[in-house]
Structure 1
Amino acid sequence: MAGKPKLYYFDGRGKMESIRWLLAAAGVEFEEKFLETREQYEKLLQSGSLLFQQVPLVEIDGMKMVQTRAILNYIAGKYNLYGKDLKERAWIDMYVEGTTDLMGMIMQLPLQSAEMREKNLALIIERAKTRYFPVYEKALKDHGHDYLVGNKFSWADIQLLEAILMVEECKPDILSAFPQLQAFKGRISNIPTIKKFLQPGSQRKPPADDKYIANRGKCCLTSVRFHFPQLLLKYL
């Protein structure tokens, strides 16, 4: 019998958080190996486990998987959270890409100066209200189902809830103009596996703080702060 998946990353959200969400929602227990020193990161590099010299790294089913999207695709497919056919998978992909863009903008905030953070926080809230959340609100209203795709719980629902909660950390009343999303949040949050993941003491991680950013910079070959302007452009 295969053991629990092992997740190699920093002790924080980053790109690993959506992987944690997906595994937890599928009811899969997993272990975490946190990178806390440069030596741990170098050891992974020297082992050849990091195909492109980057984490996240997930050991699952005898594989050492890298690249966030590849990992998420595999988990979603393995646990029947990726639609019943190509058309449903295409819709799931589109919805997931939208939430990925929105969450990516939020993940960059801790890397910014106070002035830039205030400016880009306003941009995130504006984009959530006018570009992203209206899409999901309309989808739920138009088809009248509990879930985004095929009237069946999928990866798209899991990641949308993750995105909603992240935006609410920036602006608690962000859903005031989106009644469908309010109801959706309540439904998905009460799915037993997700409800468990949302409880205190779970493997869900808090928003990034200065300690987390400093640890990432210490472990990586270069400071994440150095790359921030280029990273931000990807999400605008």
Structure 2
Amino acid sequence: MKKTALILSLSSMLLGGAAQADTILGIYAGADGWRTAAEGSFASSDEMQTFNFADKTQQSFYLALEHPVPLLPNVRIQHNPLESEGLSNISAGFNFAGETFTADTQVRNQVDLTSTDYVLYYEILDNDLISIDFGINGKYIDGYVAVAETSANGLDAGQDVSQWLPMLYTSAAVGLPLTGVTVFANGSFLSYDGSRVYDAQAGIAYALLDNLAVDLTLKLGYRAVNLRLDDIDDLYANLDFKGVFAGIELHF
């Protein structure tokens, strides 16, 4: 009987210690594969040209750190490659990166608007059933946009894009009791001075592994990104990327 009481006591201490450690510091690491369909237009003025884009699989990686320190925000860093290219027959003349492209010309168009999100957020509500986060996101876009005529000795123009965008961030999740399934949605939003940007996703997650050492979660959902840029580094654009994603998340 004494041995049983001792074992139960030690087990309680170990479980309590593990729970306390997770309360003190929680680390989340994840990766997503996202199949995107892209469409939209861009130019060096508000008279934009519409282009064709091929579907492409993008990858996204993130790391988040959560803690119980009052008033100190949690931190999430996410890297978002965002690329696409295609062949287009332009319907009207337009200006881009110092070059004037004429109508009825075939061009190869390319966009790379890869970004990194630096999110500071607070947990407004956090329990086994519902969690709600709210914060700010400093999205840093560092990319390149290019257009080149397919004909020999044709025009070739490219433009670098490097810009910080301040955005609002929010996240919510609802757990379905006794199923291991969670319904979630999160996103960042910006609207000011003619520009509008959003990056939002929603889906379901399933807890494949849940123990004291590590939690392993599988995710499936839909993500949509819109970049409506009004004279951002001399770039005017209205681009949409959307499609289904699947991912994995580890919680230590």
TM-score, scaled to structure 1? 0.25
Structure number with the higher helix fraction is 1
TM-score, scaled to structure 2? 0.24
Name the structure, 1 or 2, with higher relative contact order (CA <8 Å, separation 6+): 1
Which protein is bigger by CA-based radius of gyration? Answer: 2
